């Protein structure tokens, strides 16, 4: 029996995707070869890559003039690629520090050039999204982390800038409708709502590239990857294949509107229980609560052993909170079912 998998990423994907992926590991579409042994230059894989790219464009309504790339190195390599490609040697970048990952992104930029933290919620252990800050004019770019996995916060409105707007959407891309045209570059490690670990999605406005005065190493150059259609070097074939299967699944589910509705309903189920159950308290500010990662604490620590036993008995896994927040974190990504959320809600209700 499959567990209720609340892992923060890598995380649950649809059972249907696992089934198709397992079949392709044995024999891809009946061609007599495993998906693990085909050349990335084969017509089969070129079709996979094209389909994955076109499904991303379709599902997210990506406007003309943007390239969709599948790279490697996760968000962590993007922390470096973004300033290498977009921060001029005499330019300036600003970062909104909403958690440990946003801070890491800032640090890589600051090591390379002139970057500043424009606003931070470090004063309250990142339990809110900073607001009301003024964005200076003349920035090369402003960088935000739209969802903060560790702390369970999420931008509900995005800041604006006369520079480029760059977003790390690793943990909420494909969870809701977004207006891509507001962003100049979006990146996301695949291992939440897109696919297994091993590939990184980049959606970049073509016209912003090749404009800095910096010498960019080949593997860090978005333009090189874009020109080579994400095949400048051998791509992570299987991760992209599974992402493609999952994108097909998203489309079949009814697209982004249906996914968003499902996610909002799941989040409401869990936050409702947290708010009405006297044994639990959420850690994030109400207005900034994430629909992807629900962080909460026990109000009575003496109940810890009983609760931990109860959720384990209910076949729930992966809800231990990150060490920097403590308590619990229920990651309720796209593929987590309402049945799984109900299993946790029931376990919490029974404890009270």
The footprint of a copy of itself (CB under 8 A) covers: 1-3, 5, 7-13, 18-19, 21-23, 25-27, 31-34, 36-40, 42, 72-77, 79-80, 104, 107-108, 111-112, 189, 191, 195-199, 215, 217-220, 232-239, 242, 315, 317-318
Residues in the chain: 352
The nearest distance, CB 74 to a copy of itself, in angstroms, is 5
Q: What stretches of 7-69 show up as alpha helix (H) in DSSP?
A: 15-26, 43-59
CA distance 291 to 152: 8
Nearer to a copy of itself, 159 or 196 (CB): 196
Nearer to a copy of itself, 30 or 278 (CB): 30
The nearest distance, CB 198 to a copy of itself, in angstroms, is 4
The nearest distance, CB 2 to a copy of itself, in angstroms, is 6
CA distance 261 to 334: 10
Q: Which residue reads 């974190």 in tokens?
A: 329
Nearer to a copy of itself, 186 or 190 (CB): 190
Largest CA distance in the chain: 61
Picking from 278, 93, 289, the residue whose alpha carbon sits closest to that of residue 172 is 289
Point out the residues that are catalytic: 101, 168, 192
* Helix, strand and coil percent figures for the chain, each rounded to 5: 40, 15, 40
Q: Name the burial class of residue 296, with classes exposed (0-12), middle (13-18) and buried (19+) by CB atoms within 10 angstroms of its CB.
A: buried
Nearer to a copy of itself, 33 or 279 (CB): 33
CA distance 290 to 284: 8
Strand partners, 188: 201
The nearest distance, CB 21 to a copy of itself, in angstroms, is 5
The nearest distance, CB 286 to a copy of itself, in angstroms, is 28
Containing 347, the helix (H) or strand (E) segment is: helix 338-351
């Amino acid at each position: 029996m499959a567990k209720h998998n609340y892992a923060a990423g890598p995380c649950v994907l649809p059972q249907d995707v696992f089934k198709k992926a397992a079949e392709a590991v044995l024999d891809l579409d009946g061609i007599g070869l495993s998906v693990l042994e085909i050349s990335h230059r084969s017509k089969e894989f070129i079709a996979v890559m094209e389909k994955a790219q076109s499904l991303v464009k379709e599902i997210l309504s990506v406007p003309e003039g943007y390239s969709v790339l599948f790279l490697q190195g996760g968000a962590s390599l993007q922390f470096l690629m973004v300033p290498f490609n977009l921060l001029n040697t005499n330019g300036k970048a600003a970062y909104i520090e909403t958690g440990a990952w946003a801070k890491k992104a800032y640090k890589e930029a600051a090591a390379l050039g002139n970057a500043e933290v424009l606003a931070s919620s470090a004063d309250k252990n990142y339990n809110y999204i900073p607001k009301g800050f003024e964005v200076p004019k003349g920035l090369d770019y402003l960088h935000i982390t739209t969802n903060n996995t560790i702390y369970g916060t999420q931008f509900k409105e995005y800041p604006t800038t006369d520079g480029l707007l760059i977003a790390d959407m690793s943990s909420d891309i494909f969870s809701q409708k977004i207006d891509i045209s507001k962003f100049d570059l979006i990146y996301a490690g695949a291992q939440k709502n897109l696919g297994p670990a091993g590939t990184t999605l980049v959606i970049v406005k073509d016209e912003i590239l090749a404009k800095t005065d910096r010498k960019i190493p080949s593997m860090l150059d978005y333009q090189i990857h874009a020109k080579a259609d994400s095949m400048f070097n051998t791509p992570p074939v299987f991760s992209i294949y599974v992402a493609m299967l999952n994108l097909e699944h998203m489309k079949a589910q009814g697209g982004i509107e249906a996914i968003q509705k499902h996610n909002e309903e799941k989040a409401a189920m869990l936050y409702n229980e947290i708010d009405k159950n006297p044994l639990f308290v959420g850690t994030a500010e109400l207005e900034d609560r994430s629909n992807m990662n629900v962080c909460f604490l026990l109000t009575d620590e003496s109940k810890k052993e009983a609760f931990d036993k109860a959720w384990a008995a209910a076949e729930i896994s992966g809800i231990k909170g990150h060490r920097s927040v403590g308590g619990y974190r229920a990651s309720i990504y796209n593929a987590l079912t309402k049945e799984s959320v109900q299993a946790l809600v029931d376990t919490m209700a029974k404890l009270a």
